[in-house]
Chains A and B, each alone.
Chain A
Amino acid sequence: MNRFLIPFGLFVVVVGFLAVGLTLNPRELPSPLVGKAAPEFSLPQLHDQGKTISSNDLKGKVWLLNFWASWCGGCKDEHPVLIHLAQSGVVPIYGMDYKDQRNEALAWLKEWGNPYSVVAVDEPGRVGINYGVYGVPETYVIDKAGVIRYKQIGPLREDILEKKILPLVRELQNQ
């Protein structure tokens, strides 16, 4: 065995790991909340300030909770994906307008389109803290019993939707 080959051998191992590492998603952080009951909230609605939306109203169906804000660049990136999903009607998306100005949020939705069934307003960001939001956008899949089943940090992409979220949603809906 040629000892001058050792550096090459070590390098091959490192490259192997780097290659596997590339296929992994560093944004996919395990959340302590996955598998636990979604924190409850009752907040004013964005479009109709007089009405409130509560997490209890949503028991019995599978739904997505999407934290977004008009000031957030990543939300713009994932927006077409949400619109597409909303049009398919597979699962309702509830928006959580996070630390945002009401008029700016309304203008944003008017300009780019509104994928949300209802948007709740979390101006002080309290609900965000309860959900352990790292940054917007973040998306949660919540089942019929009100348990968080999945958490996506950062913008949704079509491939994540197809591979992870939609199969999970269908499975949960059939339970």
Chain B
Amino acid sequence: MKSTSAVVVFVIDLPHVVRLRDRAQPALAVYGLSFGVALAMLSPVLRQPPLDGFPLSTYPMFSTARPAISEFPTLLGVTSSGEREVLSPALISGDPWAILAFETVRTAKRGGKRRRRALCEAVAARVADDDERAGVYAQIVFVTETYDAPAYFFGDTNPRSIKVHATCPVPR
């Protein structure tokens, strides 16, 4: 009983404690906005599963424990003598931003045979329109290469495996 009345007195007294009646700066506005913003920012991790949205995020950048041996999907140019060479983000996605090229390749890889083929042909068309590269490559090949990423920088530069998803000719 005593504790109940103590809580009631505390609640009644609360407006005075936080100057709720301060008309110049209503505490409800101050704390409503403050708690609202804090809760909104924490909300992505309170959801199940956590949601990385915009502008509220779980900030998952660099957080996953990637294995040393990883897959690297990409599109390569194949010369007439059969050598495979890296292209550029602009040729791969139509935009010079590297991360967008990566997302384009990854989405196509996950999207099935038709999307892989479509990306391969789109890249081949961009290569055909590129003055510097058009004559160099006969084919475009969409592959996933597997490397030991840390070992690569100690000289182990050969892929552990290569899987071909699509091949398409560069239009003449």
| A-B interaction | no
Interface residues of B (CB under 8 A from A): none
